[in-house]
Structure 1
């Protein structure tokens, strides 16, 4: 794919959550100083209703002011395909190997991003390593989870790709509505992955989605015995009963105290 609408693609950036990402040159019409933006293109056609709903959610996301959130710039539909453009960061993500201190800071910043969204009444719904983008001063959260808009009525896959399932509250996978507590669960799983280097369900295959779902829905998460106790305690709190989970802001504060 060479481009969409008036965006010319430079190279692919990856795939996930029902779409593909591209580095693109910034169109002259956008009031953005950066020469490049990141463009996400949905992997399937979208209905007019889904387009309107997704645009409303992106508009609400754009209204949240936080240094820990990637700035969204534009959204549109071209030949029935939904796309949106955001700020581009070239420092990689938490999906890449990072030093422990860098990882802890990034998770703390992700928690502050979630707290800003929660304060505006928005749940991110897809906090995972690939959506925590790194830069020289820390990290920013990208890619608001919009897959439910394009897969309405689907509970297991409606939250995104299998890469998201490991970080999704099992209650949400069972059909409970997503909310701030689900994002806190995701932050706990992310913190465990960054510090322990392993997931809560063991190593999951990338090419067997059914196995991944079975493991997550039938196996209790196991906190690594090798985690320092303050980290393990915070992970356990994030995975606790919904009404007892800490706020995202509290998660950020506790990680900063650990650092």
Structure 2
């Protein structure tokens, strides 16, 4: 199979927001114990300025003070394409687990994603794309993956390239021009927690296949918590997805603390 730079691809792992993930053999120069990594190859050419911005954010991601972030090993350009290599977690994601996933594990994975998001926020970085597909599963909980670099690589992508962005888990305010922030990531954590508890989004049934129709449906809907969600968990989800950012938990760390308090009820 083909590869990129000195990465030999083993198999594709699927399409992502703005590129393709591949399982690849880890080159010796990385100096890591793992024999395999995930390489994301970004679709389309990347300008010098976008490359610098993206690699700067990935550097901050890789050194943020959290072991709940997927480890990023490398980034570069090859033939004009931007790529980066990160830790491979074979258990899959909250959206697509590789095997059975009980609710307790799913909720712990969201808690860990909240801890990871807080570490990024403390370094001045909003993740921008927290969703079940980017919450990867580990034996002890979860890891937050895949910074929303699309806004750096293609600044208009939130409006013009909506096909694969996780809009169902994006604060609707971002679709009308609000900048990514702690508060928008907290919204996404709340929506992801709702998915962990119910297997459903907070917008109900949404149209698929037509991005602009999807956006209109989201903006016209009122996010709601499914009646099956137990009391304290329902209160937390509702707080996270509150329309007024001031009514949301102030930090992702607070979200993690409140999820921990739910654990006996959700385990």
TM norm structure 2: 0.92
Partner residue in 2 for 1:168: 170
Q: Relative to 1, partners in 2 of residues 1:57 and 1:218: Cα closer, same or farther, differing over 3 Å? A: same
Q: How many residues align?
A: 258
Q: Relative to 1, partners in 2 of residues 1:139 and 1:154: Cα closer, same or farther, differing over 3 Å? A: closer
Instruction: Note the aligned Cα RMSD (angstroms).
Output: 1.5
Partner residue in 2 for 1:252: 256
Residue ranges of structure 1 left out of the alignment (5+ in a row): none
Q: 1:201, 1:220 within 8 Å by CA — same for their partners in 2?
A: yes
Q: 2:198, 2:229 within 8 Å by CA — same for their partners in 1?
A: yes
Q: Deviations over 1:141-170 (max 9, x none)?
A: 110110001221444246x64441111111
Q: Equivalents in 1 of 2:160, 2:247: separation in Å?
A: 27
Partner residue in 1 for 2:149: 146
Partner residue in 1 for 2:116: 113
Q: Relative to 1, partners in 2 of residues 1:19 and 1:136: Cα closer, same or farther, differing over 3 Å? A: same
Q: 1:23, 1:36 within 8 Å by CA — same for their partners in 2?
A: yes
Q: Equivalents in 1 of 2:31, 2:212: separation in Å?
A: 44
For 2:22, what is the secondary structure of its paired residue?
strand
Partner residue in 1 for 2:137: 134
Q: Equivalents in 2 of 1:67, 1:115: separation in Å?
A: 12
Q: Equivalents in 2 of 1:65, 1:9: separation in Å?
A: 30
Partner residue in 2 for 1:32: 32
For 2:186, what is the secondary structure of its paired residue?
helix
Matched, 1:243 2:246: yes
Partner residue in 1 for 2:107: 104
Q: Deviations over 1:77-129 (max 9, x none)?
A: 00100000011111111012521111111111111111111111111111011
Partner residue in 1 for 2:16: 16
For 1:188, what is the secondary structure of its paired residue?
helix
Shift of 1:2: 1.3
Residue ranges of structure 2 left out of the alignment (5+ in a row): none
Matched, 1:230 2:232: yes
TM norm structure 1: 0.95
Partner residue in 2 for 1:78: 78
Q: Equivalents in 2 of 1:50, 1:112: separation in Å?
A: 28
Q: Equivalents in 2 of 1:196, 1:215: separation in Å?
A: 21
Q: Which 4+ runs in 1 deviate beyond 3 A?
A: 160-163
Q: Equivalents in 1 of 2:228, 2:139: separation in Å?
A: 29
Matched, 1:53 2:53: yes
